[in-house]
Amino acid sequence: MSRLAGKIAIVTGAGIGIGAAIAERFAREGAFVYVTDINGETAGETVARIAKAGGKAAAVVVDVSKGQDVTALVRRIDAEHGRADVLVNNAGILVRGEVRNLTDAEWTKLREVNVDGVLRLSRDALPLLRKSAAGSIINISSIMANRGLRPLAAYTATKGAVTALTKGLAVEYALFNVRVNAISPGYIETAITDRMLRLPQARKFLIDKTPMGRLGSPDDLTGAALFFASDDSLYCTGADLLVDGGMAAGL
């Protein structure tokens, strides 16, 4: 398999969960992957698995909410490869709680990671992506971007912003031959959802709401990411692909 042979990919939040699964799939498909994460240890573990499988990757500590980290990443990639072909904006955090109890600090951090981080990387990596023959940005949004759920109003607002930003960037970046698409997962078993999914009632409720009868795994997202990263999607931009086991269709 080599659908991404020779491509240079950046995956944020790739130390664990969805980001790690996407990074490993890209490497198996022939890409050199910059595995970025705020946690250098977990990023290194992802790179170690990639190397063990025969792939190529580098771990880079990046906090997407900090401009200096993003600048350093872009400069490194420019020096080492001179271009980037794929950017996956996956890094994100979850803050639970009713908005009436949300502090300014919590909201600021949520916005800085989930929205500002996506915008900052998409902006700062553009010069590298323009040097690609077929640049692609993939933003990880959520099915919650278009619906409300207690106690996740603030989180859903940030994901709604990611979906809207995807569409705006798709129109703007088409001038530079850079595609911008989103993937909106349903309930995926990751560290972010672990607290809720440990509750038997919550797990049963969500499975019952999913027509396919199960929750998703990080690996369930990798096919969609590969499609948007590869030349199979050369005429696809501004899309928001649901990967949710049919949950949104059944609600």
Q: How far apart are CA 96 and CA 77, in angstroms?
A: 35
Tokens of 214: 């199960």
Can you give the residue ranges of every domain in the chain?
8-188+218-250
pLDDT 10s digits, 23-76: 999 999 999 999 999 999 999 999 999 999 999 999 999 999 999 999 999 999
Determine the pLDDT at residue 1: 61
Look-up of token digits 């949004």? 141
| Crossing angle of helices 153-173 and 104-111, rounded to 10° | 30
Dihedral sign for Cα 109, 83, 183, 196, please.
negative
Q: Which amino acid is at 15?
A: G
CATH code for residues 8-188+218-250? 3.40.50.720
Look-up of token digits 């290194």? 44
| Crossing angle of helices 117-124 and 67-80, rounded to 10° | 30
pLDDT 10s digits, 198-232: 888 889 988 888 999 999 999 999 999 999 999 99
Give catalytic residue positions.
155
**What is the pTM (predicted TM-score) of this model?**
0.96
